[in-house]
Amino acid sequence: MHSQPFQDGDVVLLVDEVGNKWVTKVSVGKFTISQGTINLSELIGKAPGCAISTHLGYRCYAFRPTPNDLVMHAIKRETQIAYPKEMGYLILRLGIVPGCRVVEAGTGSGASTLLFASAVGDDGKVYSYERRLEFTERARRNLELAGLLHRVEFKVRDIASGFDEKDVDAVFLDVRTPWEYLEQSLEALATGGSIGILVPTTNQICETLRVMQRLPLVDIEVCEILVRHYKPNPERLRPEDRMVAHTAFLIAARKVTLAKGDFLPAV
Instruction: Please tell me the distance from the alpha carbon of residue 11 to that of residue 112, in angstroms, as a whole number.
Output: 19
- Judge if 19 and 50 occupy the same domain: yes
Contact 55, 36 (CB under 8 A): yes
- Judge if 77 and 49 occupy the same domain: no
| Count of structural domains within the chain | 2
Confidence at residue 29, expressed as pLDDT on a 0 to 100 scale: 81
Confidence at residue 74, expressed as pLDDT on a 0 to 100 scale: 87
Per the domain annotation, does 235 fall within a domain?
yes
Contact 164, 127 (CB under 8 A): yes
Confidence at residue 265, expressed as pLDDT on a 0 to 100 scale: 54
pLDDT in tens, the chain (267 residues): 668 999 999 999 999 988 899 999 998 789 999 999 999 999 999 999 999 999 999 999 999 999 999 998 888 776 677 888 999 999 999 999 999 999 999 999 999 999 999 999 999 999 999 999 999 999 999 999 999 999 999 999 999 999 999 999 999 999 999 999 999 999 999 999 999 999 999 999 999 999 999 999 999 999 999 999 999 999 999 999 988 888 999 999 999 997 655 655 554
- Judge if 160 and 181 occupy the same domain: yes
Per the domain annotation, does 167 fall within a domain?
yes
Per the domain annotation, does 262 fall within a domain?
no
The CATH number for 138's domain is 3.40.50.150
Write down the H helix ranges in 147-264. Answer: 182-188, 202-212
- Judge if 74 and 182 occupy the same domain: yes
- Domain limits at 43? 11-65
Confidence at residue 259, expressed as pLDDT on a 0 to 100 scale: 61
Per the domain annotation, does 123 fall within a domain?
yes
Per the domain annotation, does 267 fall within a domain?
no
- Judge if 41 and 77 occupy the same domain: no
- Judge if 61 and 72 occupy the same domain: no
Beta-carbon contacts of residue 116 (< 8 Å; ≥ 6 apart): 87, 91, 96, 102, 104, 126, 172
- Judge if 74 and 55 occupy the same domain: no
Beta-carbon contacts of residue 262 (< 8 Å; ≥ 6 apart): none
Strand partners, 7: none
Strand partners, 86: none
Find, among 19, 14, 20, the residue nearest to 43 by Cα.
14
Confidence at residue 133, expressed as pLDDT on a 0 to 100 scale: 95
- Judge if 142 and 29 occupy the same domain: no
